[in-house]
């Protein structure tokens, strides 16, 4: 059986790295030495030049949303918004209804 790997992201560098458990509890970016954020094993990073994709990812990560696989939902992390328009609509929905932002961001239908 192989090493279990999960993705880590450095938002300032717009870089994603898959690392195993052998790197210790705190992961540092190899480019800028800043702490990286664990995002989960089902993460697919946007292209480095995709500014909007990285802004959406930043909002998701700061709200506490991660990309873990779940045996209950099938084979992926479930719905995640991909555009700023989708994020803005969900933020407005969360403010209007009082639902926590993390829940509103992963809700398939608003």
Q: What is the pLDDT of residues 14-61, one digit of tens each?
A: 999 998 766 667 889 999 999 999 998 888 999 999 999 999 999 999
State in Å, rounded, how far the first CA of the chain is from the last one: 41
Check whether 69 has a pLDDT greater than 60: yes
24: left (phi over 0), alpha (psi -120 to 50) or beta: left
How far is CA 94 from each of CA 65, 83, 108, rounded to the nearest angstrom? Answer: 15, 17, 13
pLDDT of residue 68: 81
Q: What distance in Å separates the CA atoms of residue 90 and residue 10, rounded to the nearest whole number?
A: 24
β-partners of residue 35 are: 28
pLDDT of residue 4: 74
Q: What distance in Å separates the CA atoms of residue 85 and residue 10, rounded to the nearest whole number?
A: 23
């Amino acid at each position: 059986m192989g090493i279990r790997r999960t993705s880590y992201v450095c938002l300032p560098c717009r870089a994603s790295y898959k690392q195993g458990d052998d790197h210790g509890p705190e992961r540092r970016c190899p480019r800028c030495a800043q702490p990286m954020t664990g995002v989960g094993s089902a993460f697919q990073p946007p292209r480095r030049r995709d500014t909007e994709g990285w802004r959406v990812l930043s909002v998701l990560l700061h709200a506490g949303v991660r990309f873990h696989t779940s045996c209950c939902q099938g084979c992926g992390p479930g719905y995640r918004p991909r555009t700023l328009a989708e994020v803005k609509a969900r933020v407005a929905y969360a403010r209007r209804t009082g639902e926590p932002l993390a829940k509103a961001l992963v809700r398939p239908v608003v």
